[in-house]
Amino acid sequence: MGAEPAAQARRPPGTPPVVCLAGNPNVGKSSLFNSLTGSACETANCGGVTTEATAVCTRWEGTMVEVMDLPGVYGLDVSGGDQEAARTALLEARPDVVVAVVDATNLARNLFLVLQLLDLGYRVVVALNLIDEARRRAVEVDAAKLAERLGVPVVPTVAPRGEGVDELTEAVLRVAASPNGAGRGVERDYGEVVDDRLDELTVTVGQRLSGHAPAYGLGARAVAFALLEGDTGIAAASGLDAAELLTLADDGLALEIARRRHFLARSIAAASGTVRTRGGSETWWRVTTTPLTGVPILAAVMAAVFAVLFFAGDLLATALTSVWEAYVTPVLTAVIERLFGEGAVGATLLWGLDGGILAILAVGIPYILTFYFLLALLEDSGYLNAAAFLTDRVMHRFGLHGRAVIPLIAAGGCNVPAVIATRSLASMRERAIAATLITLTPCSARTAVILGAVALFVGWQWALFVYAVLIVVGVGAGLGLNRILPGQGGPLVMEMFPFRRPVLRQVVGKTWRRFREFVWDAAPIVLAGSFVLGALYETGVIWRFTDLLAPVVEDWLMLPAVAGLTLLFAVLRKELALQLLIAFAAVTVGAAASDLTSFMSTSQIVTYAVVNSIYVPCVATIAVLGRELGWRRTATISLGTVALALLVGGLVARVVPLIGG
């Protein structure tokens, strides 16, 4: 049973043909999109990466073509999320050709989507991607047999290396220019019951349309198929009474169609390929997802990520800031003082230009760029899927999927890239919970305060106490958010993805694109915050906040007044809190302020570190929170952390003296 051809998209003469790329998130679809267009789209070997359609105009063999990368999905069912987004984007695009990107190592699973596209009447060209992985795993796929069984062109490709891309573009252009319906496949048998009902419904739909075209340029049979599968939106958009038409369909036909489609996919795959798995990839999957071996491996991987972020990041930060302070700061200072003098205006400009750029150099390049590179390596290797599978049960207690474990661990290096990494989570609820927990995770800058203030001046045992408090706060916040936020997380549905060798060019390109995006979003806010804080300090306005903060800082938190001022400035960079505490204290107690114990007790130092570690994150984190979650949620998270920091800080200030502090 074949599908009736979809109506041609009504575009003005000379308009470039539209080509859509469809496929699941793990078949290298976005990587193939980059190879076809030369653009810079996200690529990864993990679920939930491509979250919105991306369109680029390019030229193939002298022909202008519009290429659209659809959200990565396994099917086009109307079930919300990426599947519905992909279906909507596909229908509205009215493509001349759909390139179905399939995984050569898991053909049966991927052909379901190909059959769905053909049933909607689209012209299809199959890109048989990851053919190199198939060879490595001793999986043989006969592209000619597959093309014969499907009735559409099939082109083997290796997207990261550009193999097969020229042949793919030739096939697409050939199908797009064909007047005889090439690329629409051979007849497919869904069983007598479905076929008869589909024929009947197709006739009825054609009569009801009364000569005008259905919505989205689909044929009457495609509309009938959508109705039988429970999608009334297409019929309603065509002006048809979907409820009335559904009376012609049996309740169980949607399930029967899905069952038959899966059967056809398995049959076609079996007739087109031979699987002789060597077992290496499967062995690694078992080892990394079995708790007995997977937990130690995950701990080792996360320890390595954290170590690289913390130690390598610190070395890079020290090197970059030293170079800037040695060669740029003197010149910049001389120029600004010559133009604006040494007064408040010049000093404020130095806060913004010199201090602001130093903040970016101290955080952006060392920690964020390093994290993006590590994340890209883990994504392209496929390990993130194993980590998500292994930790899913634990993360569900916080309303999250296992995919959230990497951002949460990475937050120990820097909160900014960790927040951006929450894009891989499926719902806004999960992203909001994960982002909140990330902001409560002490990054390297807050760790510097804990080590530099608590461990150095009052002992390691109190530093461990601070970390214990932060763990209790984070766990409590996660459990609480899971209870109070509406909705609930669904199950994590995953298939086994093969471990792969990361492609260095792809990893470097992805790292650079993500880092560039961070700099574009966060740098202006960091610079603006530097100017504002500098103006408050240089004009002396900052000291007026002492009296305003006294009831909270002195009475509730039991801290010196200057401590409250440093917490305001720490919004720029958390590690500034300790530096400014000593500087501000020197104004009031003199040079002895370099030793915190000269004007603060053990209880006060511990309380100060706890409050600094919990309350509103730095401006760079606020910037990416605003972009990722929206400013209303960002304000809620920020104000919530302030309230939580004050509550916990006040309690700590009263508990520590009771236990010997």
Q: Are strands 273-275 and 63-69 parallel, antiparallel or unpaired?
A: unpaired
Q: Which amino acid is at 248?
A: L
Note the pTM of the prediction, 2 decimals. Answer: 0.59
- Closest to 18 in 3D by CA, of 71, 76, 128, 92: 92
DSSP code string of 124-141: EEEEEE-HHHHHHTTEEE
Span 561-579, mean pLDDT?
A: 76
- 3-class DSSP string for 305-357: HHHHHHHHHHHHHHHHHHHHHHHHHHHHHHHHHHHHCCCHHHHHHHHHHHHHH
CB 462 within 8 A of CB 454: yes
pLDDT of 97 reads 92
Classify burial at 375, counting beta carbons within 10 Å of its beta carbon; exposed 0-12, middle 13-18, buried 19 or more.
Answer: buried
How many Å separate Cα 483 from the centre of its chain? 24
Q: What is the pLDDT of residues 407-416, one digit of tens each?
A: 887 787 678 8
Q: What is the pLDDT of residue 154?
A: 94
Q: With 0-12 CB in 10 A as exposed, 13-18 as middle and 19+ as buried, what is 393?
A: exposed
Mean pLDDT of the residues in the chain: 80
Least confident of 11-20, 147-156, 334-343, 484-493: 484-493
**Cβ pair 559, 553 in contact under 8 A:** yes
Higher pLDDT among residues 492 and 163, named by residue:
163
Two tokens at 28? 């290298």
Residue 348: is its pLDDT beyond 80? yes
Nearest Cα neighbor of 76 from 125, 7, 24 is 24
**In percent, how much of the chain has pLDDT > 90?**
18
Q: What is the pLDDT of residues 19-74, one digit of tens each?
A: 888 887 667 777 788 888 876 554 443 333 344 567 888 888 888 888 888 877 77
CA–CA gap between residue 629 and residue 434 (Å, rounded): 11
Q: pLDDT of 242-266, one tens digit each?
A: 666 666 555 567 778 888 888 998 8
Does residue 296 have a pLDDT over 50?
yes
Output the pLDDT for position 532.
79
**Is the CB of residue 391 less than 8 Å from the CB of residue 295?**
no
DSSP state of 160: G
Whether the pLDDT of residue 346 is over 90: the answer is no
Q: What is the DSSP letter of 163?
A: B
Of residues 265 and 518, more confidently modeled:
265
Structure tokens, 472: 């209790």
Mean pLDDT (whole number) for 161-169: 88
Whether the pLDDT of residue 587 is over 80: the answer is no
Angle value at C-alpha 220, between 217 and 226, nearest 5 degrees: 90
- Token pair 């220019």: residue: 177
CA distance 256 to 112: 14
C-alpha radius of gyration, the chain, whole number: 29
Q: Which residue has the tokens 């099939």?
A: 154
The b-or-e profile of 152-179 (16+ CB within 10 A means b, else e) is bbbbbbbbbeebbbeebbebbbebbeee
The residue-averaged pLDDT of 179-189 equals: 78
Supply the DSSP symbol for 595. S
Counting residues of the chain whose pLDDT is more than 70, the rounded percentage is 82
Q: Is the pLDDT of residue 377 over 60?
A: yes
Annotate 513-524 with DSSP letters as a single string: HHHHHHHHHHHH
pLDDT of residue 45: 39
Average pLDDT over residues 146-168: 89
Rounded Cα distance, 121 and 553, in Å: 68
Neighbours of 422 (CB within 10 A): 26
Amino acid 52: pLDDT: 57
- In sequence order, the 6+-apart residues with CB closer than 8 A to the CB of 585 are 560, 562, 593, 599
Whether the Cβ atoms of residue 151 and residue 100 lie closer than 8 Å to each other: no
Bridging pattern class, strands 273-275 and 139-141: antiparallel
Other C-beta atoms within 10 Å of 354: how many?
Answer: 19
Quick one: pLDDT at residue 623? 84
pLDDT of 592 above 60:
no
Report strand pairing: 54-60 vs 63-69: antiparallel
Query: Is a pLDDT exceeding 70 seen at residue 199?
Result: yes
Reference 588, options 555, 543, 649; nearest CA is 543
In order, the DSSP letters of 83-124 are HHHHHHHHHHH--SEEEEEEETTSHHHHHHHHHHHHHTT--E
Homologous superfamily (CATH) of 18-177 is P-loop containing nucleotide triphosphate hydrolases (3.40.50.300)
Say if residue 609's pLDDT is above 60.
yes
Residue 314 has pLDDT above 50, yes or no: yes
User: What angle, rounded to 10 degrees, do the helices at 428-439 and 460-484 form?
Assistant: 160
CB count in 10 Å sphere of residue 296: 10
* Contact (CB, 8 A) for 401 and 489: yes
Sign of CA dihedral 112, 118, 121, 127: positive
- Among 215, 187, 200, 212, smallest CA distance to 246 is for 200
User: Pairing relation of β-strands 18-22 and 63-69?
Assistant: parallel
Which pLDDT belongs to residue 49? 39
The CA-CA-CA angle for residues 434, 437, 439, to 5°, reads 110
Helix axes 220-228, 192-209, angle to 10 degrees: 120
**pLDDT band for position 126 (50/70/90)?**
very high
Render 404-465 in DSSP notation, one character per residue: GHHHHHHTTT-HHHHHHGGGGSSSHHHHHHHHHHHHTS--HHHHHHIIIIIIHHH-HHHHHH
Q: Are 168 and 99 in contact (CB under 8 A)?
A: yes
Q: Which of 27-41, 320-334, 614-628, 633-647 has the lowest mean pLDDT?
A: 27-41
| Lowest-pLDDT range of 47-56, 66-75, 108-117, 449-458 | 47-56
Per-residue tokens: 160: 């990261």
**φ, ψ of residue 428 in degrees (nearest 5):** -65, -30
> What's the pLDDT at 8?
45
Please tell me the distance from the alpha carbon of residue 94 to that of residue 84, in angstroms, as a whole number: 16
Q: Which residue has the higher pLDDT, 648 or 530?
A: 648
Region 362-369: mean pLDDT is 69
Please report the pLDDT score of residue 661 as a whole number.
65
pLDDT (0 to 100) of residue 44: 42
CA pair distance 70, 615, nearest whole angstrom: 39
Q: 């609480």: which residue's tokens?
A: 480
Domain ranges of the chain: 18-177, 192-275, 291-659
Cα–Cα distances in angstroms (integers) from residue 594 to residues 503, 544, 561, 600, in the given order = 49, 24, 17, 11
Q: Which tops the pLDDT comparison, 657 or 242?
A: 657
Instruction: Specify the range with the lowest mean pLDDT, choosing from 41-50, 60-69, 94-103, 107-116.
Output: 41-50
For the beta carbon of residue 628, count every other beta carbon within 10 angstroms: 19
How long, in residues, is the chain?
661
221, 225, 227, 232: CA torsion to nearest 10: -90
Q: Which residue type is seen at 106?
A: N
- How high is the pLDDT of residue 533? 72
Residue whose C-alpha is closest to residue 413's, from 441, 455, 384: 441
Alpha helices in 539-618 (DSSP H): 545-550, 561-569, 576-589, 602-614
